[in-house]
């Protein structure tokens, strides 16, 4: 899911519960996943380590078969040790299961978020004097299987008969907002309408979950985080490190908060989520070196200082998609290093089979939003963007002489980040003539 909610400026979509949570908490404007792929991103969320450091380089299911290193400590395990009841409802999608030990697995239909919330009621209401951690992970708004629905739009989990307990909120293709990174075609509009419907269903589940917390008089004492693992499954979103793929929603409602409706402009990423939760739980372990910082000290600030850069690290999506990229994203400038730049960029299967992509191919359309299709598929080694002047990332400045000094500074920062976070791909800098410390 991208930033597709009313509180993030999308006036066409109905998300009253997401918007209400933002009004009651903190909305981050500059929040980023570190890899735009489901399993790796979820492993980052649950470990506080970049994917290149936790071992979950790509998807875990079927023949992709990636998994985290078995010796890392994860959020559910640390919270269990600290005396928390831990439960998961919905999609886990990380491995191996032994290092993600949830006490309770709640069985529900992960497409019916209202049912998911109701089936979480007993876990929430349990009166055992123990605090709880609930990992609530709907499938919405993931694309539905089979991915190929041509010429119809992918349903994104929507069913003609709807879902029990869920109000069926639909959208026409004419009602949707076309983001600047997508082409305005009938196929795109039809699929966005389905995507919106899936988000509105998700929104109702969030609302039901919050109503259950309030009915149990636990809402005020509960830390709530609403976020997405990666950008939307449209061309230019999922599996890219362009802004639509990584700049995502993050809403935090802290316990017994004093200020509400804050918009926080710090640049943050998903390595901070586990440290933040453990900080609130007073359970930060002394023997774990997380690669992100806790957000707790800055939650009630609008413009905290020293939160002006974030990094991203993406290596695989599907096992056949070896596309290692490293990114430094500042407030104005962003540098993408495409390590395997000489190959054509592969397209994820669900996007390749999507009606949005197939419409472009079958009609010979050579543009994708503000980019040419050739630029999207054949990317240079370095992409430097001035996000203030070029928010659509369509004008690469990397080869411009006037940006040579900035390029060198940002490249050195990426290399230092890789060394600090034990990134095996740091050795690729040797081809650039940059020294790499021997241990790598």
Strand partners, 135: 88
Beta bridge partners of 104: 87
Contacts within 8 Å (CB) and 24+ apart, 364-368: 365/183, 365/185, 367/183, 368/181, 368/182, 368/183, 368/235, 368/236
Number of Cα atoms under 13 Å in the Cβ half of residue 149 = 20
Q: Locate all alpha helices (DSSP H) within 168-291, ordered by sequence.
A: 186-215, 243-246, 273-280
Nearest to 35 by CA among 379, 298, 321: 321
Supply the DSSP string of 28-73, one letter for each residue.
Answer: EEEEE-SSSSHHHHHHHHHHSS-HHHHS--S--STTT-----TT--
Grouping H, G, I as helix, E, B as strand and the rest as coil, residue 139 is coil
Report the relative pairing of strands 85-90 and 104-106 from DSSP bridges.
parallel
- d(Cα 304, Cα 289) in Å, to the nearest integer? 23
Closest CA to 385 of 375, 371, 376, 396: 396
User: CA-to-CA distance for 412 and 229, rounded, in angstroms?
Assistant: 28
**Residue pair 111/139 in contact by the 8 Å Cβ criterion:** yes
Pairing between β-strand 333-338 and β-strand 322-330 as defined by DSSP bridges:
antiparallel
Give the span between the Cα atoms of 407 and 403, in whole angstroms.
6
Q: What DSSP string runs through 195-212?
A: HHHHHHHHHHHHHHHHHH
Longest Cα–Cα distance in the chain: 65
Collapse the DSSP code of 240 into the 3-class scheme (helix H, G, I; strand E, B; otherwise coil) and give the result: coil
- Identify the active-site residue in 7, 38, 68, 137: 38
Active site residue 38: yes
3-state secondary structure of 329: strand
Phi-psi region of 84 (alpha: psi -120 to 50; beta: other; left: phi over 0): beta
Q: Are 162 and 109 in contact (CB under 8 A)?
A: no
267 backbone dihedrals φ, ψ, rounded to 5°: -85, 115
Catalytic residue annotation: 38
């Amino acid at each position: 899911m991208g930033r597709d909610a009313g509180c993030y400026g999308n006036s066409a979509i109905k998300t009253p519960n997401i918007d209400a949570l933002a009004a009651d908490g903190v909305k981050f404007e500059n929040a980023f996943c570190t890899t735009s792929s489901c399993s790796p991103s979820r492993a980052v969320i649950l470990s506080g380590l970049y994917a290149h450091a936790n071992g979950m380089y790509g998807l875990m299911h079927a023949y992709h078969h990636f998994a985290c290193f078995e010796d890392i400590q994860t959020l559910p395990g640390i919270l269990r040790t600290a005396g928390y009841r831990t439960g998961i409802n919905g999609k886990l999608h990380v491995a191996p299961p032994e290092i993600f030990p949830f006490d309770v697995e709640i069985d529900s239909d992960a497409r019916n978020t209202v049912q998911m919330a109701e089936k979480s009621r007993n876990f929430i209401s349990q009166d055992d004097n123990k605090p709880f951690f609930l990992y609530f992970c709907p499938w919405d708004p993931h694309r539905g299987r089979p991915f190929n629905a041509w010429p119809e739009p992918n349903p994104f989990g929507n069913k003609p008969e709807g879902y029990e307990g869920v109000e069926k909120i639909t959208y026409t293709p004419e009602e949707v907002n076309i983001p600047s990174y997508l082409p305005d075609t009938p196929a795109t509009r039809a699929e966005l309408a389905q995507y919106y419907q899936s988000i509105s269903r998700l929104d109702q589940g969030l609302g039901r979950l919050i109503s259950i917390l309030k009915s149990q008089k636990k809402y005020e004492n509960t830390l709530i985080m609403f976020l997405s693992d990666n950008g939307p499954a449209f061309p230019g979103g999922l599996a890219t490190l362009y802004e639509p793929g990584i700049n995502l929603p993050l809403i935090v409602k802290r316990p017994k908060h004093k200020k509400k409706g804050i918009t926080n402009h710090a640049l943050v990423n998903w390595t901070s989520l586990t440290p933040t939760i453990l900080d609130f739980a007073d359970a930060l372990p002394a023997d774990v070196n997380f690669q992100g910082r806790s957000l707790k000290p800055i939650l009630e600030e609008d413009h905290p200082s020293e939160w002006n850069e974030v990094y991203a690290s993406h290596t695989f999506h599907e096992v056949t998609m070896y596309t290692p990229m490293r990114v430094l994203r500042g407030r104005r400038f962003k540098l993408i290093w495409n390590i395997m730049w000489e190959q054509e960029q592969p397209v994820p299967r669900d996007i390749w089979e999507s009606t949005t992509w197939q419409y472009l191919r079958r009609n010979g359309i050579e543009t994708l939003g503000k980019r040419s299709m050739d630029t999207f598929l054949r990317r240079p080694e370095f992409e430097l963007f001035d996000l203030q002047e070029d928010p659509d990332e369509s004008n690469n400045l990397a080869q411009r002489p006037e940006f040579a000094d900035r390029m060198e500074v940002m490249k050195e920062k990426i290399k230092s980040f890789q060394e600090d976070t034990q990134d095996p791909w740091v050795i690729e800098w040797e081809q650039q003539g940059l020294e790499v410390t021997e241990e790598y």
